Amino acid sequence: MSKTPGPGGVGSTFLTQLHQLTTKTTTTTTKPSRFSGAENINLVAVLRSKSSLRAPSIDSPLSLEGWSREEGNQPAIEPEQLTTWLTSTYPPPHRSIIIIDTTSSSLIAESYPLFLRSGIHVVTANKKAFSSGQSLFDEIYRITTADPHHPLVYHESSVGAGMPILSTLRELLATGDRVHKIEGVMSGSLSFLFNNFMPLTNKQELLPWSSHVLEAQRLGYTEPDPRDDLSGLDVARKLVILARVAGMKIDGPDAFPVQSLIPKPLAHVGDAEEFLKRLPAFDQEMEALRLEAEAEGEGEGEGKVLRYVGTADLDSGQIEVKMVRVARESPFAGLRGSANLFAFWTERYGSEPLVVQGAGAGAEVTAMGVMGDLIKVIERVGME
């Protein structure tokens, strides 16, 4: 949670976008949004780690324009209390209640079954409900298919931020295609690191690995402690979600090989500052790997590049996350900046995969993905 008023970077951006959407649907000087239901949305609570800002009634909702300037008017609220307050103050089915989760909280993720059983819809960017224990994943989807008027859960932004990754996969499956393999560069921070550490064309000066890690942290591409990204766990969680949606049963992100890019001696040293201070001592290890990749195919101008790739083979049941050498003509080699790329190898697409590529990180695109899911819920509830 943010230390400043508001629900964190993605949450604050989402509420800003929602305010803009509402304004555009009611302003004649701008082109109307295709979604016409934004004016019917009432913001009734903004929850923080240590306080909560709650509307006194449905007739007095929070202002989408002014919520960030208001301090929390009540203490933090636990999931059970939140459920009771919402369902008693705004009882469904007379009104649709939607919880927007832009945290990475395990506690909130584990409370999704509670919310759903109470008739509350869930829209989330939180990976943990769908990538932790298989039983939680199964329970969530069991509840949401229990009856014709079941509550809805959407989590497009748990994989690929605002990119249409899960919706693409679900459409492939729903239309009867068979998915053989899913692979991709699934981390914006690691994409940035490798695209700069070993670019497709070496026109700029090649800098040591630690320099790129420092730059990625400075630009905000990594978590405050870069080890959270370098561990590979974020990619592993996304791959678990994709594989589960495709029908695989997986215990969790620790159930398959995940290559960590953290030097073993630095895995548990002090804080992020201490880690970054000592990281240059291990630059030669990454430099040796870069040279080995460049030398592969030497003499034919076909030296390879390093990329960090997650792969789920649905046919064999094998999943792995690791640094790989890819040919220069590979779609993974041509990525720039912090771009992500997801490739779906399917029966219908044959020898050429269906590729979805774009910005896979950042508050703006992640919030947009959450907004898209919110609109889907509203449209579906209105149709039922």
Q: Tell me the C-alpha distance between 199 and 218, whole Å.
A: 20
The band of 342, judged by pLDDT with boundaries at 50, 70 and 90, is very high
User: How many C-beta atoms lie closer than 10 Å to residue 292's C-beta?
Assistant: 13
Q: Which two tokens stand for residue 56?
A: 């006194």
Q: Tell me the C-alpha distance between 321 and 238, whole Å.
A: 11
The band of 383, judged by pLDDT with boundaries at 50, 70 and 90, is low
Annotated catalytic residue 238: yes
pLDDT at 1 over 50: no
Residue 53 CA: distances (Å) to CA of 13, 20, 59, 222: 17, 21, 16, 30
Which residues carry a binding-site annotation?
Answer: 6-11, 103, 127, 223
| pTM score | 0.90
Degrees to nearest 5, angle at CA 210 with 205 and 260: 125
Fold of 9-161+364-383: Rossmann fold (3.40.50)
The active-site residue out of 3, 181, 238, 249 is: 238
> Where do the structural domains in the chain lie, given as residue ranges?
9-161+364-383, 166-359
Q: Tell me the C-alpha distance between 130 and 240, whole Å.
A: 8
The pLDDT, as a whole number, for residue 6 is 52
Task: Mention the CATH class of domain 166-359.
Answer: alpha beta
Between the two ends of the chain, the Cα-to-Cα distance in Å is 35
Helix (H) or strand (E) holding 167: helix 165-174
Q: How many CA atoms lie within 13 A of 76 on its CB side?
A: 9
pLDDT digits 0-9 by tens, 24-48: 554 444 555 567 777 788 889 998 8
Which residues carry a binding-site annotation for L-homoserine?
Answer: 223
pLDDT digits 0-9 by tens, 69-104: 666 678 888 999 999 999 988 876 667 899 999 998
